[in-house]
Chain A
């Protein structure tokens, strides 16, 4: 069974640009979560999608947005990139309810110059 896949693996952008990151969940998983992990730091919750709807978002500005498609894959969009957006962006998927584990992808390393 394929795990959570994310693309691209690495991305270099400049300030003010826009970026789209992609995530395909494990087959059968309907919930997708996005996290930001700055270098050497913990995982900060960004967004949660389930059945095509945004269910919750973390404490991030509106320039962080996303969507979930009918096949449960998801995109994370970041507009007006800032230097502090440099981080590893991790996607996780989950099957079933709140007491089921989340499984992570390998992430997208975003560097802002």
Chain B
């Protein structure tokens, strides 16, 4: 089936430390993996995405890694700041062109 598992469900880190969120997907044919950030009461916003032809992508303090063999991908946030506090969702596409989302990770940055 089309399944994306996301861990952990909640994560608290000290300001300045790094945060890592991990997702696994079920379909080896998936080839597109976006990450969204949703602040309280706001829309999900795309923060980074990766396609299956690369293993890593970085954008300033945010990076995503992809292991196609193991069917998992991870979001890395370095030098965390209070404004990084939000719910983060991973997603993977499946052959029928829809995204299936993970269950979300509530990230709290402790000042």
Contacts and interface: CB of A to CB of B under 8 A. Distances in A.
**Size range of the interface on A?**
20 to 34
B97 A48 contact: yes
B103 to A, nearest CB: 5
Given A99-B32, A99-B93, A90 B44 contact: yes
Interface of B: 31-32, 34, 36, 42-46, 49, 51, 89, 93, 96-104
Given A99-B31, A101-B34, A107 B93 contact: no
Contacts of B93: 98-99
A42 B102 contact: yes
Which of B36, B45, B49, B99 has the most chain A CB atoms inside 10 A of its CB? B99
A42 B89 contact: yes
B101 A106 contact: no
A17 interface: no
Contacts of A106: 42-43
21 contacts: A42-B89, A43-B44, A43-B89, A55-B96, A56-B96, A58-B98, A90-B44, A97-B97, A98-B32, A98-B93, A99-B31, A99-B32, A99-B51, A100-B32, A101-B34, A101-B49, A102-B34, A104-B36, A104-B45, A106-B42, A107-B43
A67 interface: no
Given A90-B43, A90-B44, A102 B99 contact: yes
A42 B104 contact: yes
B46 A101 contact: yes
Nearest to A50: B97
